[in-house]
Amino acid sequence: MSDIAIFKEMIKRTATVSLESYHNKHKVTLEEPAPANYSVTIYGMPDDDQVVVIKADAFKAPKDIFADSKRECKRADFVIVTEINGKQVIICIEMKGGRGGAEIEIIQQLKGAKCFVAYCREIGQSFWNHQNFLKDSVYRFVSIRNISISKRPTRPPGRTEIHNHPERMLKITSPRGLQFKRLVGDL
């Protein structure tokens, strides 16, 4: 059983986002409900059996257990898990409608999403008896801001740094025509 198939069995459908067909390809629309009430569409998504999109903040923050003194209860909005050329790629995405959120807060949310995936990895290894579940995964961290303003390009000139740590997140502003391969970057 593939890691994606395990994730689709593990995570409730109400905590995932379905792909949509778009010109013989796929897209996904990531939506933040009211009061935020904004969305981002990502084009060029992999086939449905190669990807799962999870609403990482769909469950209540575990503040009944953790003190939250280091903001360890925070999570990013979405996690996309996919397989590209035999590699597991995990993309943690935090969205802000305006300029919103201090960078340290976004970093904490991205770290929380990585911890959520680590918990899922342990569940897959223990309950699905799949010892290589998410082993050697590659992470990408993305911050998307100014979602409602679409007058600037989404690609900053000259970006070469890989966004494989929350502190080195890919920062996208005014996303319009956002392509999935942009979120993955170089593997």
Write out the residue range of the structural domain in which residue 32 sits: 3-184
Distances from the Cα of 179 to the Cα of 25, 43, 48, 53, angstroms: 12, 5, 16, 15
Asked whether 121 and 151 are in contact (CB, 8 A), the reply is no
Whole-number pLDDT of residue 160: 56
Whole-number pLDDT of residue 151: 47
State the average pLDDT for the chain: 89
Whole-number pLDDT of residue 36: 79
**Does residue 155 surpass a pLDDT of 80?**
no
* Phi, psi (rounded to 5 degrees) for 27: -140, 165
Whole-number pLDDT of residue 154: 45
| Count of other CB atoms within 10 angstroms of residue 116 | 18
Whole-number pLDDT of residue 152: 47
Q: For 95-123, what is the mean pLDDT?
A: 91
Confidence of residue 161 (pLDDT cuts 50, 70, 90): confident
32-36, 76-80, 130-134: which has the minimum mean pLDDT? 32-36
**Does residue 149 surpass a pLDDT of 70?**
no
Measured CA to CA, the distance from residue 163 to residue 133 in angstroms comes to 23
Spatial CA neighbour of 45 closest among 69, 75, 78, 14: 78
What would the pLDDT profile of 16-65 be if each residue is shown by its tens digit? Answer: 999 999 999 999 999 988 777 889 999 999 999 999 999 998 888 888 88
Measured CA to CA, the distance from residue 187 to residue 180 in angstroms comes to 13
The structural domain count of the chain equals: 1
Predicted TM-score of the model (pTM) = 0.90
Contacts of 133 (CB under 8 A, 6+ apart): 3, 6, 121, 124, 125
Percent of the chain with pLDDT over 70: 92
* Structure tokens, 72: 């360890």
| Count of other CB atoms within 10 angstroms of residue 145 | 19
